[in-house]
A and B are shown apart, each in its own frame.
Chain A
Amino acid sequence: MRVLTHCLSFGKPRSLIGLWLGLSGLLAAIALLSLLYGAGDVGPARAWQALQDLGAAASYDSEAHFVIAELRAPRLWIGLVVGAALGIAGALLQAVTRNPLAEPGLLGVSAGAAFAVTLAILWGADTATLRVSVAQLGALGGCLCVLAAARLQGIGSDPIRLILAGAILSGLLHSLSSLILLYDQHTADEIRFWVVGSLAGRQLDDLVPLFPTLGVATLLTILLARPLAALALGEHVAIGLGHHPRVVRLLVIVVVALLVGGATAAAGPIAFVGLVVPFAARALAGPDIRRTLWLCLPLGPIVVVSADIVSRLVVPPSELPLGVLTALIGAPVLIGVVRGRRLPTL
């Protein structure tokens, strides 16, 4: 028993486990809410009744049953996966660029994935599996552009300038995507809603092609957490401790591309989740990337699923696209972070 407690002692063991359990509980509650509330006719009372009937052999309210099983549950699952992926991708990208503002959506990684998918659909690709790999390749391209920009004189060392470079890349890619949509009606119909980022109308089948690459990303994240934590002490210290900063950085970029590409393929480009979630995780658990990553796991889905619930409720019976909502929440947070006391260093 003592050995076990020592094994788990990463500074604030009890507080981390407590936090994690608390947040997981909160996430469970929010997940339940996301099954109960929607923009349609099935209200919380009917949904609750239908949920209780799910265990029973026969369901009495087939409409409520359909809404929950076929519409809300797939949405919830995708929200969970997308939230976790984006939260962790944000934390990783911030650790590797040592920039608290580095967010996949702001740095053009999501835009790269979206642009690649737009191109793929324009050229006739239509299967979900292909969409995932194309989005991940696009995200990788976006990542590499960002890193190239970070290597330019003066940009890498200044968080704000890196964000500016990313904003320019994002803007360019969004314009190109819009241009394609303007000229090609078929592509536009195919992805009009997807391109603003949304969980609506997604099927569980959209999620399956993500699993292989998300599995690889998870495995790599587990392997990379320790060297990445050492990298926070500086490149030379990390080398002195026997790590390979270059290899670590390259693998982290691959993981970010897999996560953001996968999330974007499933839900479209969703900005600011990768900024807000790691920011909250660091505020709760301190700067160690290992603790940040653990907390991003429940925090990411909390943010995405809550935002999705709100997106269904603000303008009933219509819905607000999730990407619009996260931008509405995230932009003030970004402004707050930039305007607040000096930027926290990573």
Chain B
Amino acid sequence: MTHDAPACERDTAQPDTAPDMTAPDMATQGLSLAYGSVAVIEDLDLQLPAGQVTAIVGPNGCGKSTLLAGLSRLLKPRGGTVLLNGTDIRHQPTRQLAKRLALLPQQPHAPEALTVAELVRFGRHPHQSWLRQWSLEDKRIVDEALDMTGLTPLAQRPVDALSGGQRQRAWIAMAIAQQTATLLLDEPTSALDLGHQVEVYELIQSLAASGKTIVMVIHDLVSACRYADHLIAMHQGHVIAEGLPGETVTPELVRRLYGVECSLITDPATGAPLLTNVRRTRDALDGSAT
């Protein structure tokens, strides 16, 4: 893999001290990801803006979850690198990385009867060791995470007794307790109804406002436009558009991504692009007719 020389210089020039204070810069260089012999993503260069909400969107099977797995070291790259603060994440011990990069898989499952507080305490694992177990500092951070997610009154309730939105907030609270500068989320609102979706998205926005870099994979393009600062559209393993949602989303992009026609208007309340009159393209209709 050959790297873009100026990009390398820029990345290594980033100060590597106090990762929690300066917002990190996450990027990929020539990243190739594969499951077994099936290549999903090849030679991908990507910049993820610091302190913002980035949404990765695209049709089923476009490689967006694979990309997230690569970013979060769940999937070892076949080639290229994932850079966090200019350092290859593979060159960092997984525990050190866990202090900088939190990860929430799609629909995580908590054991029966595990309480919210117990779940959030797991977020302190990368900061604890055999010499330094549970401390007052940990307790303060866990309480803060519960507070930020509005779960303090529910702290002693079992996670599986919560509503979908509360449950997802509890998992996010665990990631908050990890005190990382970057948070990766895989479809954080799948299987949630509208009210619970908004509950989770607003929490994610407030986290970005407090300085965290958020990268999330989501299905719903409208929510991506509404809540993300930066949009990455993927199609067949390639990034086909990225940038501000308002500037990136066009009827052509929607057609290419999902094979549907639509009209775009601007949400008068939020300024986000809104998809209206979504319908199948003539091509698709012709295809189904023959």
Contacts and interface: CB of A to CB of B under 8 A. Distances in A.
A236 B105 contact: yes
Given A241-B122, A345-B111, A236 B74 contact: yes
Interface in B135-154: 135-136, 139
Contacts of B136: 3, 6
B158 to A, nearest CB: 9
Given A6-B134, A233-B122, A242-B97, A11 B115 contact: yes
B111 A346 contact: yes
Given A242-B99, A242-B126, A237 B134 contact: no
A287 B134 contact: no
Contacts of B199: none
Size category of the A interface is 20 to 34
A18 interface: no
A242 B126 CA distance: 6
A308 B175 CA distance: 48
A7 interface: yes
Contacts of B264: none
Contacts of A233: 108-111, 119, 122
Nearest to A345: B112
B118 A288 contact: yes
B105 A237 contact: yes
A244 interface: yes
A288 B114 contact: yes
B105 A241 contact: no
A240 B98 contact: yes
Interface string A153-174: 0000000000000000000000
A85 B180 CA distance: 39
Interface in A1-41: 3, 6-7, 9-11
A239 B126 contact: no
A223 interface: yes
Contacts of B118: 10-11, 288
Interface in B210-248: none
Nearest to B124: A241
A137 B227 CA distance: 57
Given A232-B111, A233-B111, A241-B178, A7 B133 contact: yes
B8 interface: no
A251 to B, nearest CB: 15
B95 interface: yes
A345 B130 CA distance: 29
B113 interface: yes
B125 A242 contact: yes
B134 A9 contact: yes
B102 interface: yes
Given A226-B125, A239-B103, A242-B98, A234 B73 contact: no
Most buried by B among A6, A230, A237, A244: A237
Contacts of B115: 11
Contacts of B112: 287, 344-345
B94 A243 contact: yes
B29 interface: no
Contacts of A10: 118, 134
B259 to A, nearest CB: 31
A43 interface: no
B134 A243 contact: no
A286 interface: yes
B192 interface: no
Interface in A240-264: 240-244
B175 to A, nearest CB: 8
Interface in A197-239: 223, 226, 229-230, 232-234, 236-237, 239
Contact of A239 (B93, B94, B130, B134): B94
Contacts of A230: 122, 125
Contact of B113 (A3, A240, A287): A287
B109 to A, nearest CB: 6
A242 B115 CA distance: 21
Give the top 9 A-B pairs by smallest Cβ distance, nearest first: A242-B98, A240-B103, A242-B95, A242-B126, A236-B105, A287-B111, A241-B125, A232-B111, A286-B113
Given A6-B135, A11-B115, 20 more contacts: A7-B135, A9-B134, A9-B139, A10-B134, A226-B125, A229-B122, A233-B119, A234-B105, A236-B103, A236-B108, A237-B108, A239-B74, A240-B103, A241-B123, A241-B126, A241-B178, A242-B93, A242-B94, A287-B111, A346-B111
Interface of B: 72-74, 93-99, 101-105, 108-115, 117-119, 122-123, 125-126, 128, 130, 133-136, 139, 175, 178
12 contacts: A10-B134, A233-B109, A233-B110, A233-B111, A237-B108, A239-B103, A240-B103, A241-B123, A286-B113, A287-B112, A288-B111, A345-B109
